[in-house]
Amino acid sequence: MSRMTAYQVPRSASPDTEMLNRMYLVKNVKALGLTYQIRLLTFHAVESGKKLVLKVPANCSFQAKLEEFVKSHRKHVQRENY
């Protein structure tokens, strides 16, 4: 899945791994915001009927916009701590 920028450079995102009906995006950060990568992978998850799993450390905090996004896309996005 890709998208063109103003300079006609394709932009795309891919999960770290895919298993069955889940796409995993692993982040080792203390705080995570709503990024283009997360939005694009969520779109891909919705289109393909899969679930995007955000795998983050237990002490990782989600910014407010990401919390709202996860709540509104609960069927296709979930948080998983490691």
Report pLDDT for 4: 63
Count Cβ atoms below 10 Å from residue 59 Cβ, excluding itself: 9
Q: What average pLDDT does the segment 40-65 reach?
A: 97
- What pLDDT does residue 12 have? 85
**What is the reported pLDDT for 46?**
97
DSSP H or E stretch at residue 43: helix 36-48
What percent of the residues of the chain are helix, what percent strand, and what percent coil, each to the nearest 5?
25, 35, 40
CA–CA dist 74, 82 (Å, integer): 20
Nearest to 13 by CA among 26, 3, 28, 27: 3
Q: How far apart, in whole angstroms, are the C-alpha atoms of residue 9 and residue 31?
A: 29
